[in-house]
Amino acid sequence: MRIIGVDPGLGRLGWGVIDVDGNKHTAWNYGCIETSSTFSEEQRIKQVYNELTTIFEENNPEVLAIEELFFSRNVTTAFMVGQARGVVLLIAAQNNIPVISYNPNEVKVAVTGYGKADKKQIAQMVKIILKLPKLPKHDDTTDALAIALTHAFSQKMKKQARV
C-alpha cells in the first residue's frame, strides 16, 4: 500500500509518501511545499495546488492520511491551514483517493505509544521506523511521515482485529 501523509499549512505544507509491505515501512518520497508570505493568499493556494498535484501524479498514492484541524488560539492560522487542507482534499477527490483524518493525539500514540510525546520524540521514532539516514529538514515533513505511519499502523490493527 502506498500512503501519502500531509501536514497541511499555507506557509509550509509537509508531505510524505510511504510504502507498506507487511511489517516493512519505507519512505518513498517526502518534502515540504513552502510559500512566501509576500505572495497573496490566492497565489499561495495556487502554488500549493500546483505543486501538490504534481506530487500526487509522480507518487501515485492509494490513500491520503491528513491531520485534522485542531486550534485553540490563533484563528488566522486556523483559516490559513483550513484553506490548505481544502486544497489537499480537492486534489484527493480529483484523483479518487480515499481520505482518512487523524488528530494529533492519535498520531502521537501510533508513532510513539505515548499521547503526550513531543515533536522531538515523534521525529526520532519516524527516523527509526523508516530507517532514515537523517531527519527531514522541516518538522512539517516529519509530521507528514508520522501521519502516514499512523494510517499504516491503523490498517494493520484493523486487519489483526478481523482475524
Q: Is the pLDDT of residue 142 over 60?
A: yes
Q: Which fold has domain 2-162?
A: Nucleotidyltransferase; domain 5 (3.30.420)
Query: Cβ neighbours of residue 67 under 8 Å, at least 6 residues apart?
Result: 6, 7, 8, 101, 102, 103, 104, 107, 143, 147
CA–CA separation, 77 and 132 (whole Å): 31
Catalytic residue (choose from 19, 106, 140, 143): 140
User: Please, what is the average pLDDT of the chain?
Assistant: 92
The answer to whether the beta carbons of residues 25 and 153 sit under 8 Å apart is no
Catalytic residue (choose from 19, 67, 106, 143): 67
pLDDT tens across 13-51, in order?
999 999 999 999 999 999 999 999 999 999 999 999 999
The predicted pLDDT at position 163 comes to: 46
> Which alpha helices (DSSP H) does 26-129 contain, by range?
41-59, 75-94, 104-112, 119-129
Residue with cell 494529533: 104
Indicate the Cα dihedral angle 78, 5, 128, 155, nearest 10°.
120
The predicted pLDDT at position 57 comes to: 97
Q: Where are the domains of the chain?
A: 2-162
Select the more confidently predicted residue: 70 or 81.
Answer: 81
Q: Is the pLDDT of residue 139 over 70?
A: yes
Q: What's the predicted TM-score (pTM) here? A: 0.92
Select the more confidently predicted residue: 78 or 107.
Answer: 107
Q: Is 19 a catalytic residue?
A: no
Q: Is 140 a catalytic residue?
A: yes
